[in-house]
Structure 1
Amino acid sequence: MKPTLAELTLKLEEKFGKLNSQAEHCTEDFYENYHEFINSIRSEKIIIIASPNMLANKLQESKYTRYRTFRGLSILLIIAGLVTIFFNWKIGLGLIVGSIILKIISSNLKKRVSRNFAFELTSKISTNSDEGMFDICQYYIAGILQLASSKGRAHLPLIPSYSLTGIEEFARRS
């Protein structure tokens, strides 16, 4: 059952604190187009795209930040490889190749985490549309999500209905 605008705003304020005017405008837009968003996401007319960097920065959970470990090891190996190449080129070259492999692993892990997060949100809309819409609303306001369709790709500061209508409108600021 569709929550009221006051309930949706109150729930978001519990999560974020007092909403700014931009977040309020996006919340109102989600509320006005509530069923259109649910139907479009279920029928895959709108897809959810999660930014892996924003996901890792905003949600400090290990499953979203694990790629950073491989990226850090990659940096260490490239430095060690560049230093070692002057003393023993075979070992140095091996360290550089290992660095490249870790960089590829980090990149693939980063993309996979982002896709899985978007898939979980899409699945949540299918099973429990009210909780799913709240999650989409909160992650959109946090700047983690984009809503993409054939009409446009909505992300802050654009209002979310841009992905439904194709009419470019920015969330108002006070």
Structure 2
Amino acid sequence: MGESYRAIDATNTELHLSKPAERIVCLTATGIDILAELGLEPVGYLAQGIADRPEFFGDRAQQFTSVGSWMLPNLKAIRTLQPDLILGWRFPHRLYQHWLRQIASTYLMSGSGYDIALARLRGVARLTGRDTVAETAIQQLETQIETYRTAIPANLQKTVLMMGGSTLNLLSASHFCDE
């Protein structure tokens, strides 16, 4: 039996691919960040998002097929792309997981924080056969953080508070923060 590509997503669903995913549809900006870090490009992405920013894919993002919006992915457009893997976020894509998983293996993400971000990167790396690329990126990041940590005197080090959210967060009066 050949090599196996396995990962467990944020819904505790185990994904098992017989070969590394190559055709990936991405329904979340986090997925775009992960794919860029792994040296991969999605075949489909959202009608609006971050893919066209220079730090991600720049003008190459115009080649990605639009697959709707974050809240309303276009299942027909996704199916047409014949993906091996779909990257989404637990909310709202868990609402569509039944249909998405009929199209392709679907890796749903959620949560925040450094360790969770590394776990997501490693999970997608396992599904795409890019474990070494992920570990190299993690090592480079940790080296860079340590360089900054040692370069800044302890009395000048600051706590960084990061906040994020969307219109949905405003409507529900809920926001997430990481320290």
TM-score tier, shorter chain, comes to: under 0.3
TM-score where L is the length of structure 2: 0.22
Which structure is richer in relative contact order (CA contacts within 8 A, separation 6 or more)?
Answer: 1
The structure where strand makes up a greater share of residues is 2
Give the structure with higher Rg (CA): 1
The structure where helix makes up a greater share of residues is 1
